[in-house]
Amino acid sequence: MTVAVTIAVDGTVLPSTLVFKGKPGGRIETKEFGTYPNGHFYKCQEAAWMDEEVMIAWVQDVLAPYVTTAPDHVVPILILDMYRCHMMSSVVQMIQELGVEVQHIPGGCTSLCQPVDVGFNKPFKDRMRRQWINWMTNEGVVHGTTSPPARLDVAKWVQNAMFPKVPAP
């Protein structure tokens, strides 16, 4: 699974896009996604990656609605790494048509200057790993073998990792 996380410079966390392995428009999308946590977008792609189709859906579902909230005098900037679908002319053109400037981070520099990578991904992945370990120790190992978690469980883990509950004082 891939999780596309978008955070604005003011700290606003936009809806994430979760990409599961599966056939676009198939059984997973039509039968399962309606039961997943609200507040995210769910897609299927044969390798569970961002590709041109998923990236265009992200632009329409996540970026376009957010850009409409920008003040008229502000030119939004989107910082992307050099991943293949981020560089596609169809994707870049669609983003630019929204009035958003696209900046690509040079290869090898993402960990140095991509804000989401620098400040969000590590804690997010740590919270995801804790949930996976908890699942493995409580449910995942059955009779000495492991089975993968349900996609719904993973979607819930993402929700919990994105918005961790803070214990009451």
Report pLDDT for 29: 95
How do beta strands 101-104 and 2-4 pair? unpaired
Asked whether residue 5 is assigned to any structural domain, the reply reads yes
Asked whether residue 4 is assigned to any structural domain, the reply reads yes
Give yes or no for residue 26 having a pLDDT over 80.
yes
- Least confident residue range of 38-52, 58-72, 89-103, 140-154: 140-154
Asked whether residue 10 is assigned to any structural domain, the reply reads yes
Query: Higher-confidence residue: 33 or 74?
Result: 33
Looking at the DSSP bridge assignments, the partners of residue 42 are 18
Asked whether residue 59 is assigned to any structural domain, the reply reads no
Asked whether residue 93 is assigned to any structural domain, the reply reads no
Range of the domain at 9: 1-50
- Are 39 and 3 in contact by the 8 Å Cβ rule? The answer is no
Asked whether residue 36 is assigned to any structural domain, the reply reads yes
Q: How far apart are CA 50 and CA 107, in angstroms?
A: 18
pLDDT tens digits for 75-117?
Answer: 899 989 888 999 999 999 999 999 999 999 888 887 777 767 7
Asked whether residue 45 is assigned to any structural domain, the reply reads yes
pLDDT tens digits for 132-166?
Answer: 999 988 887 776 777 789 999 999 999 999 887 76
| Amino acid residing at 165 | K
State the total domains in the chain.
Answer: 1
